[in-house]
Amino acid sequence: MINVVADVGLLCLLLTVALAIVCTRSPLSLVLLSGIYSIALCTLFVILDAVDVAFTEAAVGAGISAILFFAVIRPEDEPVTAFSWPSSRAILLGLGVGVLLLAGTLDMPMYGDHLAPAHQHLALRFLGQSFEEIGIPNVVTSVLASYRGYDTLGEVVVIFTAGVAVLILQPDNKKGPAKPGDRDRFAPELMGNPVLKTVLLRMIPLVVLFGLYVQFHGDYGPGGGFQAGVILGAGVITYGLLSSATRLKRIISDKWVTLGMALGVLVYGLVGVAGLFLGANFLDYSVLGPTQTAGQHLGILLIELGVGLTVSCTMVSLYYCFKQGES
Amino acid sequence: METVYLIVLGLLLIAGLLSIWRAGIGPTRFDRILAVNTFTSKSILFISVYLFATGHPEYLDIALLYALVNYVTSLALVNYLNRNPVSAND
């Protein structure tokens, strides 16, 4: 009963937010509404027992997306009419795609069907044997980091590549002196506000501590390198929002951030190659320690470290890129 | 006990709907940011109540994460408004 009420209620909320997003024209309201959408979606993931997915949604939705969106929108883009229906062609296209997607779900197994193919093939083996083979309670981490280590390596490389692509696209550093119309350069720092300074400077260590907890507790509960990287990045960027990107760069220079992005991928790859030299397959951690589970523990710890390093450095690097040319 | 949980979850959903309404119609941007904050707090409560109702309090980390990084959206907005000052009634 609780499940049904929570499911239906949250889906109704999601539909309401989606309709509001469709009708809103102001970029600022869109960012805030998509934040609400992300939170409602995260709650839905919790109800579906997908806690690791919920954790990622929470970290990205609450921690980083608003920072990046607010870095790129401008007040000049605010429209005169904040609220209007989309054009009839857009509505038709949306409805058409929606009907096609609904038709696509007709072939899928019912929600909660234990005979669904996804629950028959490998899932039984993972659920039954992962604790003996890998030795950690969170099956999601076992699958993500060990059984499917190749896929996760691919994901880390994708994040690294995306970060590099943004770095390539960023404008030239040497833009010359500030123009008088460039009001961003002359905005007072938020650090001057005693409330923000007192509260948020004490929040940063807590956020970083929580990020480290998520990083190293991923074997036992929801979380892992991806989520921890985003949380750590958000903690660091908080200081940049409070003072300025330039002040943050004096503490963590952009060269180190770029180096960290590459270093994380390197750590991941080297752990895989270490397995090769010890006489096993690429990314087989069993040979890294005295026993199979000890080796798996060490391997998963190291590759999660690499993932966390790459993700957190990519987040900070994205922030630097979007703040290029500002005070 | 389940009835209590059900009533609380239902009330939290209604509170969430009301804050979505406020975030949608505004009219000022400060209404909207307060609405987002309210919605986040209600979600933290919703997740916590749901997890206790279904007997999985070990997943409270997610609610904790929201409680901890909830300030980021507000701070990013304050930073944006600081760089782009607006009139008080906008």
Chain A contact set for B66 (CB, 8 A): 39, 42, 58, 62
ipTM of the complex: 0.92
**Are A210 and B64 within 8 A, CB to CB?**
yes
Chain A contact set for B36 (CB, 8 A): 32, 35-36
Residues A73, A109 share a domain: yes
CA of B38, closest CA in chain A: separation in Å? 10
Rounded distance between C-alpha atoms, residue A287 and residue A272, angstroms: 11
**Which residue of A9, A73, A196 is in closest CB contact with B13?**
A9
Is the residue at A26 inside a domain?
yes
Residues A273, A144 share a domain: yes
Backbone angles phi, psi at A91, to 5 degrees: -65, -45
Exposed/middle/buried for A290, CB within 10 Å: 0-12, 13-18, 19+? exposed
Is the residue at A254 inside a domain?
yes
CA of B54, closest CA in chain A: separation in Å? 8
Q: Within the 254-293 window of chain A, which residues sit less than 8 Å (CB to CB) from chain B?
A: none
A228/B contact by beta carbon, under 8 A? no
Q: Tell me the domain boundaries of chain B.
A: 2-83
Is the residue at A151 inside a domain?
yes
Rounded distance between C-alpha atoms, residue A307 and residue A75, angstroms: 36
Looking at residue A265, its pLDDT comes to 94
Specify the number of domains making up chain A.
2
Is the residue at A183 inside a domain?
no
Rounded distance between C-alpha atoms, residue A70 and residue A79, angstroms: 16
Residues A162, A94 share a domain: no
Chain B contact set for A234 (CB, 8 A): 69, 72
Chain B interface, best mutation among A31, A36, A48, by max B CB count within 10 A: A36
Residues A140, A106 share a domain: no
Classified as helix, coil or strand, A290 is: coil
Residues A299, A151 share a domain: yes
Chain A contact set for B9 (CB, 8 A): 2, 5-6, 9
**Which residue of B24, B59, B86 is in closest CB contact with A222?**
B59
Q: Are A52 and B62 in contact (CB under 8 A)?
A: no
Residues A96, A143 share a domain: no
Residues A146, A102 share a domain: no
Is the residue at A50 inside a domain?
yes
Q: Which pLDDT tens digits describe chain A residue by residue (327 residues)?
A: 888 888 999 999 999 999 989 888 888 888 889 999 999 999 999 998 888 899 999 999 888 998 889 888 887 777 777 778 888 999 999 999 999 999 999 888 888 788 888 888 888 888 888 888 888 888 888 888 888 889 999 999 999 999 999 988 876 655 554 444 444 555 677 888 888 888 888 999 999 999 999 998 888 878 888 999 999 999 999 998 888 888 888 898 889 999 999 999 999 999 999 989 988 888 888 888 888 888 888 889 999 999 999 999 999 999 988 887 554
Rounded distance between C-alpha atoms, residue A23 and residue A147, angstroms: 44
Is the residue at A228 inside a domain?
yes
Residues A307, A235 share a domain: yes
Rounded distance between C-alpha atoms, residue A54 and residue A214, angstroms: 13
> pLDDT digits over A38-94, tens only?
999 999 999 988 888 999 999 998 889 988 898 888 877 777 777 788 889 999 999
Residues A218, A84 share a domain: no
DSSP A186: G
**Are A2 and B53 within 8 A, CB to CB?**
yes
The domain containing residue A94 runs over which residues? 1-113
